[in-house]
Amino acid sequence: MSIQKVSTRPFKDQRPGTSGLRKKVTTFQQPHYLENFIQSIFDVIGEIKGKTIVLGGDGRFHNKEALQIIIKMAAANGIGRTMVGLGGILSTPAASCVIRKHNLLGGIILSASHNPGGPKGDFGVKYNVENGGPSPGHVTESFYRRSLEINTYCFFDAPDVDLEQLGENRIGDMVVEIFDSVADYAGLMERLFDFDRMKELFSSGKFSMVYDGMNAVTGPYARAIFEGRLGAPLGTVINGDPLPDFGGIHPDPNLKHARELVEIMNSENAPDFGAASDGDGDRNMILGRRFFVTPSDSLAILAANADLVPGYSGGLSGIARSMPTSMAADRVAEALGIQCYETPTGWKFFGNLLDAGKVTLCGEESFGTGSDHMREKDGLWAVLFWLNLLAAKEEPVKKIVQDHWRKFGRNFYSRHDYEGLEPDSANGLMDHLRESLTCLMGKYFGNYEVEIADDFSYTDPVDGSLSTGQGIRIIFRGASRIVFRLSGTGTEGAILRVYLERYEIDTERQDQDTQEALSDLIIIANNIAQIHTRTGRDMPSVIT
């Protein structure tokens, strides 16, 4: 066994997006491609000699092969200990939990989140820093700059490590610890939530639940917590085995891709509660019997009822939401007398607010919710929060949501995604919108008068950093909105996201169909952005 210095040449396409470097599996399988990016990380993150990192992934195709490479590179670069999730499995929230609990240097997570898996699917790598959160923009940009000049990487020539057995191994001077990645995370959940009350809910025989792991990373966690510690019946967790291709499921927990769960929850004998998480476990979808809870409403409802949950009964310091997320949480914050921060999309923007103690809960419309218990969004945490509320209130999901609307008003909300667009067309559409902003101010579209039209920018209240070009906002008098953004989470083409929101205080009009309630805004959005003319699309790819 020996350390080798391998000659290489830079790849020009290794600039990370909002959630790390995501490419097709075949791209990562190119000789030196993964190694170049990992070496760039090790070269940039500072003094690593003798330090400990955590490592794992969501089980997608190429996960185990990539882990073996990274373990050997960590040993060659002087890392003292690498903690690897059993079987190579480690959810993104669990990685954040482990980093924070054990005061680690950071962690490398192998995932493309909610993107499809398999040999022709997607793969991804991201580095989480010492607070457990994603690397800030200036750090990921440093990775990219280093990747453009790299000419060698370090590799330890050694046999592969057995990832299926708990215990310690050694490569050179580095200890490789294969650990139970569920234990620390489940223990943290027990400290936050009322497990005894939730156990009673299941033991009563009057409550039923189904959780869809989507053949992704959260299956082992969900089984250990719901069927193990909480006593839910076996079979409560479906699609609970992580598979390299996710069993052909697109692991994005929404109404389109979580079809099996949606069919179960819409059936005649539907369970009381349904939920799902995505590929790496940081997203969640919440369903009641024949009832869907939007992520925006979910954040607001968790905040409004946080006093019922032990870990949050002392009150909230503040709430944060991404700019495209509906303003439902703003109304709860106002009622609680706390601040609600509007940030750009990307969980890293919540990190400073959480570290500074300015917020307790945070969330994004893209099915991500979290709190100050870690520095990542956390799918199972959100499901447990809802389960705790159901146990405390002893009311169905639908009633909890409707009562919230009656008190705070309803923010009708939907996101229309146009996937796989030609980048030039998508960028041209956004350029057209930016050029139109000054002309839109004060303009009427039917009964809607434009009050604000801008390209959202954000000044971080903690460090003063400025983020510009974060999405086009068209805000009408009366708090209705249309937002346009290009997403950075795909690997093929561009994704245009159109967010539509209408506030309704009249309780007699709060129960209408969402798309019907937003029909006027849908037409207005298409006309303002010239979506059909510029993209050739008549309909969105996905509506959530």
Render pLDDT for 85-102 as a digit per residue (tens, 0 to 9). Answer: 999 999 999 999 999 999
CA–CA separation, 433 vs 447, rounded Å? 21
Rounded alpha-carbon distances, angstroms, from residue 273 to 14, 115, 288, 387: 41, 25, 5, 8
Q: Which residue has the tokens 């990832």?
A: 163
Q: Is the pTM of this model over 0.75?
A: yes
Residue 216: φ, ψ to 5°: -120, -160
Domain ranges of the chain: 2-181, 185-408, 410-543
**Under-50 pLDDT residues of the chain:** none
Q: What is the architecture of the domain spanning 410-543?
A: 2-Layer Sandwich (3.30)
The pLDDT, as a whole number, for residue 491 is 55
Whether the CB-CB separation of 35 and 219 falls below 8 Å is answered with no
Tell me the HSE value of 44 on the side-chain side, using a 13 A CA sphere.
25
The pLDDT, as a whole number, for residue 515 is 95
Domain 2-181 homologous superfamily, CATH:
Alpha-D-Glucose-1,6-Bisphosphate, subunit A, domain 3 (3.40.120.10)
Read off the pLDDT of residues 198-207 as tens digits, 9 standing for 90 and up.
Answer: 999 999 999 9
Rounded alpha-carbon distances, angstroms, from residue 138 to 10, 45, 424: 20, 11, 27
CA–CA separation, 454 vs 445, rounded Å? 17
Burial 444-465 (b: 16+ CB within 10 A, else e): ebeebebeebeebebebeeeee
Retrieve residue 181's tokens.
């990645």
First to last CA, the chain: 52
Tell me the residue type at 440. Answer: L
Q: Which active-site residues does the annotation give? A: 113
Residue 118's CB: how many other CB atoms inside 10 A? Answer: 16
The pLDDT, as a whole number, for residue 488 is 60
* Residue whose C-alpha is closest to residue 481's, from 248, 321, 339: 321
How big, in percent rounded to 5, are the helix, strand and coil portions of the chain? Answer: 35, 25, 40
CA–CA separation, 434 vs 428, rounded Å? 10
Q: Average pLDDT over the chain, rounded to whole?
A: 95
Residue 527's CB: how many other CB atoms inside 10 A? Answer: 12
CA–CA separation, 258 vs 250, rounded Å? 8
Rounded alpha-carbon distances, angstroms, from residue 63 to 68, 123, 217: 9, 8, 12
Whether the CB-CB separation of 467 and 349 falls below 8 Å is answered with yes
Three-state secondary structure call for residue 459: strand
The CATH number that domain 185-408 falls under is 3.40.120.10
Three-state secondary structure call for residue 33: helix
CA–CA separation, 487 vs 498, rounded Å? 10
CA–CA separation, 189 vs 200, rounded Å? 17
Whether the CB-CB separation of 504 and 480 falls below 8 Å is answered with no
The pLDDT, as a whole number, for residue 195 is 98
- Enumerate residues 6+ apart whose C-beta is below 8 A from 327: 321, 411, 479, 481, 501, 503
The pLDDT, as a whole number, for residue 484 is 97
Read off the pLDDT of residues 162-195 as tens digits, 9 standing for 90 and up.
Answer: 999 999 999 999 999 999 999 999 999 999 999 9
User: DSSP states of 301-324 as a string?
Assistant: HHHHTGGGSGGGTT--SEEEEETT
CA–CA separation, 66 vs 415, rounded Å? 34
Asked if domains 2-181 and 410-543 share a fold, the reply is no
The pLDDT, as a whole number, for residue 137 is 86
